[in-house]
Structure 1
């Protein structure tokens, strides 16, 4: 279960960020807001096609009544009791969907083309959260490589009514292995952003520290980082006694554990050990009956992150994508310069990792569809923000396309990115359009049911009952 502290010492910058907003508590995944004494004006969004996030068919000519940060009523246009003085917004021809939720991203790791500890700052993180929001991603889970107390304070600030940018949950630090994942030479985060325990006792202490910091989840990295490249020298992999100690200690504190894997064998071992969330898709070979059965019996969640491997080659092999206004909306000038460099594109496209990444996407899609059809619980995430080419917001739109390419319908893909993503986080207050839920939603110019690319045509984003973003691409 996601855990948060109910009362916490206010620190300097969080007091500034929280000015004018109300802190919330989280118990059993249910948000509790402190509302101002006078009720906020009601807003009626009417004559809209509605996808409510539950997986049910869309409904035409619907109305959604919002007051404050909450949805108070949903029904056919003209059939709701509307408070006097409510603002009416006619959305004829448009489609309303819940705000997207990512279960696996990172913040404060990347700025432009740089990767490292120097990027874990409030301005860098807030810029990313506002970019997520512009792309319709209203809740973000940073799955490790964070720094306390900055991350803890920033989560509190983002949970408050009226905050700018996507709401923020995530993992304090995370637990890797000495000399191994995540690779120090590539990620370049500070020692205070990840634990690398050498013993069972160190592992337990790392979990205890994260629990004291009120981490929402615990994160493990169990991977040799070969990424399907046979000639790549493997990195050291976490020993089973270490990961078992982490899982046991976390569960003793009622905190769930997510694990980074690449290969099926490690996935099987970690599921048997009691992990709660597989944080990347299996990419080395097809999943088998034993894995599927174990995932279902233990209720383990699976986050495929299809776009992770696609991003490795996408910009190098398709430079024409630089003309895409949806990409331009989130593209940093430094990264645009890099992508525009023919030498960078040639080096990237001809690397052994490029071929392996193509194979990984295909295998990941095949396994995702197999697990989906088998009834395994599937979440939504991208690993956006962990590398410069995994662009916040844009990566989530690519993920939806890849889910559809894998064999899901557009509405099935959107269900994973809304209600299912919320369910993975044990957040019962979002992910669907229904009375009592958070008023986090996206207004699309066209219907996504026939073409998932409709998610690019954002007319408006609302978070907490407030319109927070203008159209993603000016019309």
Structure 2
């Protein structure tokens, strides 16, 4: 077994063997984490974005959300040793290691690094925008992404390896295989001709390290059965943007996750044909979200441990009353992207009247997700970048929209951090806990005021300056070739 695969196990052994800190009674590591793993050294072109690279860092007087759904704790000190959390607790009760770099975080908030699980490295018409997108993700506080379907799988794999080796800047990337769809679906996706083709495709990409496959709107139930069966044999998971297949059918087939919430649920369509993406969508305007039939469907998902991914920011981009790009977004977008945004905005503004239909649908999608969470479902989040919703920026907007949907600060953060780590089966990230990787974000001020005020982003214990990253990519997302 490779060393990196042993690390989570070794850390758990160390943590279980820890004794209380003699001064505070808090859990701390007796065995230094640097005896388990040395951090990957960063190339010069990555280090230029790093403000803090010390192996020993003490962050003092911070307000801390641990990402596990707990309220914030005030006046906390966090000790980071060689890229891992070594001690966390009340400022007066934590010893500062000798020669540690001390960062005073008075007036600042610390949250776990965001784990985005619908975070593409492509956008419509551009099959790979990974170089710029990866910088945007990291500068926004997104330290791990699952790409949820790849238009260019090999380029994703190559970029992921370069980031892992410290050669280029970006979040940790959990890669995806190519999309599967069905007859009538997108021609740039795989439309299976046989079960064997499906199995061969999954085996090919699984050998390259891919552990996620996504089915799209026109996938047939029969093909989904084969996809799920083979993916699970290869130790991979399957998620889907559904239409031809209902949520109920997908859950019973064995899918692991479902994307976009209520917006992709065809269970409630009138005149729907089995296995076909058809039927009317009156349900989006008429369905009672707290009805027994909706709760029964959500209970089925929960009982079968099927997660649901929220992508509120991209749906909001289609709501005329809300589809506005802020100044920081316009600063990053290329002239071509700005022109397209301006045209869309003119079209919205020229409408004779705004009936609020899509606004009401957004509210119903929010209600569906809130109810799923309250019932005990695993809700995750991702940006699904497109239009004027940029990688990373859209993840931050998701937090604001989850708050609008009724989630508390700590609940919204749990959705975007710990729950993401859970569905990725990565216990080493997602929360601020002794022994886990030091992937976290420093917000300037209180998170209630703005999650957008990112002061620092720590990944593997390296503290990146988001302003330097964003300055480097002004006007570059995305340039038409």
If the TM-score is normalised by the length of the shorter chain, which range does it land in? 0.7 to 0.9
Aligned residue number for residue 334 of structure 1: 336
Label 1:377 to 1:136 Cα distance change in 2 as closer, same or farther (>3 A): same
Aligned residue number for residue 196 of structure 1: 191
Q: Distance in 2 between matches of 1:352 and 1:205?
A: 52
Aligned residue number for residue 401 of structure 1: 400
Shift of 1:35: 1.3
Does 2:262 align with 1:276? no
Q: Give the 3-state SS of the residue equivalent to 1:176 in structure 2.
A: coil
Shift of 1:148: 4.2
Q: Is the 8 A contact 2:113 2:142 kept in 1?
A: yes
Q: Distance in 1 between matches of 2:147 and 2:355?
A: 26
**Larger radius of gyration between Structure 1 and Structure 2:** 2
Q: Is the 8 A contact 1:131 1:330 kept in 2?
A: no
Q: Kindly provide the CA deviation profile for residues 378-410 of structure 1, in whole angstroms up to 9, marking residues without a partner as x.
A: 1111212xx333311121122112111111112
Q: Distance in 2 between matches of 1:460 and 1:418?
A: 17
2:66 to 52, 72, 80: 52
Aligned residue number for residue 442 of structure 1: 441
Pairwise mapping of residues 325-364 of structure 1 onto structure 2 (< 5 A)? 325-328=327-330, 330-341=332-343, 345-346=346-347, 350=351, 357-364=358-365
Shift of 1:100: 1.0
Q: Is the 8 A contact 1:438 1:464 kept in 2?
A: yes
Q: Kindly provide the CA deviation profile for residues 250-279 of structure 1, in whole angstroms up to 9, marking residues without a partner as x.
A: 12222211111258x711110111101112
- Coordinate RMSD, CA, aligned: 3.1
2:97 to 67, 78, 83: 83
Q: Which runs of 5+ in 2 are unaligned?
A: 12-35, 42-52, 264-283, 472-481
Shift of 1:417: 0.7
Does 2:378 align with 1:372? no
Label 1:84 to 1:349 Cα distance change in 2 as closer, same or farther (>3 A): farther
Q: Distance in 1 between matches of 2:430 and 2:424?
A: 11
Does 2:302 align with 1:296? yes
Q: Is the 8 A contact 1:51 1:58 kept in 2?
A: yes
Q: Distance in 2 between matches of 1:318 and 1:469?
A: 30
Q: Distance in 1 between matches of 2:460 and 2:167?
A: 7
Q: Is the 8 A contact 1:161 1:464 kept in 2?
A: no
Aligned residue number for residue 427 of structure 1: 426
Alignment: residue pair count = 409
Label 1:247 to 1:289 Cα distance change in 2 as closer, same or farther (>3 A): same
Q: 361-370 or 96-105, which moves further after superposition?
A: 361-370
Q: Is the 8 A contact 2:321 2:359 kept in 1?
A: no
Q: Distance in 2 between matches of 1:407 and 1:144?
A: 29
Shift of 1:356: 6.2
Shift of 1:154: 1.8
Q: Is the 8 A contact 1:109 1:145 kept in 2?
A: no
Q: Distance in 1 between matches of 2:67 and 2:178?
A: 32
Pairwise mapping of residues 133-172 of structure 1 onto structure 2 (< 5 A)? 133-160=138-165, 163-172=168-177
Q: Kindly provide the CA deviation profile for residues 146-193 of structure 1, in whole angstroms up to 9, marking residues without a partner as x.
A: 43433222222223357512111121212122431xx34xxxxxx5xx
Q: Is the 8 A contact 1:105 1:141 kept in 2?
A: yes
Q: Kindly provide the CA deviation profile for residues 115-145 of structure 1, in whole angstroms up to 9, marking residues without a partner as x.
A: 134xx2xxx3121111111111111111112
Q: Give the 3-state SS of the residue equivalent to 1:104 in structure 2.
A: coil
Moved >4 Å (runs of 4+): 26-34, 36-40, 316-319, 347-357, 471-474
Shift of 1:94: 0.9
Shift of 1:368: 0.5
Does 2:318 align with 1:312? yes
Q: Is the 8 A contact 2:366 2:402 kept in 1?
A: yes
